[in-house]
Amino acid sequence: MREAAVLSPAAIEAHRARRRGAGYFVRRNPTLCGGIIVLACVALAALIAPLIAGDPLALKPADRLSPPSHAHPFGTDHLGRDVWARTVYGARVSLTVGLAVSAISMGIGLLIGLLAGFSKPVERMVMRLMDGLMAIPAILLAVALLSLSKAGAVVVVAAIVIPEIPRVVRLVRSVVLGVREQPYVEAAVASGTKLAKILWRHILPATLPPLIVQATYISASAILIEAALSFLGAGTPPEIPSWGNMIASSRLYLALAPWTIFCPGLALAAVVLAVNLVGDGLRDRLDPRIARRM
Amino acid sequence: MLAFIVRRLASTVLVMGLVGVFIFLLLRLSPGDPAAIIAGDNATPAQIEAIRTSLGLNDRLVVQFAHWAARVLAGDLGISIFSNVPVATLIGQRIGPTLSLAATTLMLALALALAAGVTAAWKAGSLLDRVIMILSVIGFSLPVFVVGYLLIYVFAVTLHWLPVQGYTPLSEGVGPWARHLVLPSCALGLAYVALIARITRAAMLDVLAEDYMRTARAKGVATGPMLLKHALKNAGVPIITIVGIGIALLIGGVVITETVFNIPGIGRLVVDAISKRDYPIIQGVILLFSGVYVIVNLLVDLSYTLLDPRIRY
């Protein structure tokens, strides 16, 4: 009974979509579904990498720079390593970095943003700090942080998270500032609800839809930055195959063996494109205010 | 208006001050004792301690920061550990190629992005609009170095139309200079074009729905002037905002593009410094690039009143 009275347009649409089945959903959201399918395939390949690819580190000097063939579907690089195996294992680095960076920067950014949106003194200080962080170009800030210690997976993730945090904080704060003036929040404040509970029950849910959209864009940018850092020799160490350091180590062989560069390059472009398409698709569904304009 | 400019300048100074604090802390946190490096391998602990005192490394952190900030403001960015040359001199030597690359990319990217965005908005919903928007999503997803190598492979290695890598200064002729910059500018500008084209389309769609656009059409303004003078000018504020924010994209891209195309600019300087752990260079370049970003965005904010006289501060 209660539900029937307050069904939102989204809920009605969801109900209709259920009746029409999955095919209808796919046709209405081609970019979202296309992106998810590509990402699912890449994630599956990364998970079962040992089953579908050989040793990414095995050297076969006799086979160096051999073009794609039956034995080596993506050819071999200048040390005779199998490019297919390295590309598949490289997906592990990119996907892990993408997921880890967006999860961690969301968590930290959400916490800071909620506090900043609800406390004037915190807001002043935090937003100025964020302005300062935002002014340093992300790749350079990550490079500077990485130059402080030995490169490793954790350091790389941390170095990419720090430049992303201000973007999350700004988004959360802007949503909180809007929601804070809503009558239902005023009612909660007036009835003496504790601040923590107001934040958790009334403010947090409003920030989630735009935050989920932002999280996908952040993973896309994190994957690109990791690849760029590894390409510049400051990211993933060379003994772990990643798409960025594969391209870096093959760059002298562009004319001789283009597959050593374009196979990981294509994989990287496809994954980033898929994540961005998922982001656009989610934005259209979750944030109709922006979707109308884009 | 004057009050706004003063306030905006004050916040710019504050942001740059914060950037300075971050970079100073990075410098202090970086491994390796500068005194030990200067003293050399055969120095006694007493000699190192003497150098520490003379460098002011034993002062309180706040005092050290004040001295460092004063030197930076005077244009002294420190001395490269590796080559013993002042960082400011090194940057001066390398700024030509980077400025050339940035200028050509900006002009190329703005022209292309505005044309694509305006066309897409004008023909909204058409096949052309969808193609432009799909291309812009793809362009935004392609990594700079992948595009760079693809362009080199197609236009330099295979077709031999353009040089593979390198840079020729403008003083050796406009032709060779431009030929070396075509591919790097395209690789660097692609993501920027995609970003600006998307925002241009969105801003134009908002303006095209306004009543005064219908009036312009009704009184017989031709399509070209209508789109450019009536619509694009009014859509200027969001576009110029994203042009300013996108500079960050361009700065990160410059570092990668110069590596791919072997251009001896500031980007290469910092990449070489990473492998040698030459901290003063890394910090000097970050300070410079952050300063450029902050100043560009200050100019963007100030330009709003010129673009849109309704905006009064």
| Residue A196: pLDDT over 60 | yes
| Residue A248: pLDDT over 70 | yes
Note the pLDDT tens digit of each residue in B32-54. Answer: 666 676 677 777 778 777 777 77
| Residue A260: pLDDT over 50 | yes
- Closest chain A C-alpha to B31 CA, distance in angstroms: 6
Query: Which of B33-42, B49-58, B90-99, B125-134 has the least mean pLDDT?
Result: B33-42
Q: Please check whether residue A293 touches B, CB under 8 A.
A: yes
Look at residues B200, B174, B181, B43 and name the one whose alpha carbon lies nearest to residue B99: B181
Residue partners of A278: CB distance under 8 A and separation at least 6: A31, A32, A35, A36, A39, A216
Sign, CA torsion B66/B70/B75/B79: negative
Q: Residue range A227-233: average pLDDT?
A: 90
Whether the model pTM is above 0.90: no
DSSP character for B277? Answer: T
Query: Which of A136-145, A279-288, B81-90, B243-252 has the least mean pLDDT?
Result: A279-288
**Confidence band of A287 (pLDDT split at 50, 70, 90):** low
| Residue A12: pLDDT over 60 | yes
Q: Check CB contact under 8 Å for A268 and B146.
A: yes
Partners of residue A148 in chain B, C-beta under 8 Å:
26, 29-31
| Residue A246: pLDDT over 60 | yes
**Confidence band of A109 (pLDDT split at 50, 70, 90):** very high
Helix/strand/coil (H, E, C) string of A118-165? HCHHHHHHHHHHHHHHHCCCHHHHHHHHHCCCCCCHHHHHHHHHHHHH
Q: What is the pLDDT of residue B113?
A: 94
Note the pLDDT tens digit of each residue in A133-192. Answer: 888 888 888 888 887 777 677 888 988 999 899 989 988 888 888 888 888 888 888 888
Q: Please check whether residue A119 touches B, CB under 8 A.
A: no
Using CA atoms of A115, A118, A122, A125 in order, give the dihedral in degrees to the nearest 10.
100
Query: Which of A276-290, B63-77, B266-280 has the least mean pLDDT?
Result: A276-290
Note the pLDDT tens digit of each residue in B166-198. Answer: 888 888 888 888 888 999 999 999 999 999 999
Q: What is the pLDDT of residue B101?
A: 93
Q: Check CB contact under 8 Å for B146 and A247.
A: yes
Helix/strand/coil for B185: helix
Higher pLDDT, A288 or A143: A143
Look at residues A142, A154, A97 and name the one whose alpha carbon lies nearest to residue A232: A142
Higher pLDDT, A3 or A105: A105
The chain-wide mean pLDDT, for chain B, equals: 86
Q: Check CB contact under 8 Å for A293 and B290.
A: no
Residue partners of B296: CB distance under 8 A and separation at least 6: B244, B247
Partner residue facing B252 (CB), from A137, A146, A269: A137
Partner residue facing A137 (CB), from B157, B275, B289: B289
Left if phi > 0, otherwise alpha if psi is -120 to 50, otherwise beta: which for B262?
A: left
Q: Check CB contact under 8 Å for A136 and B260.
A: no
DSSP character for B32? Answer: S
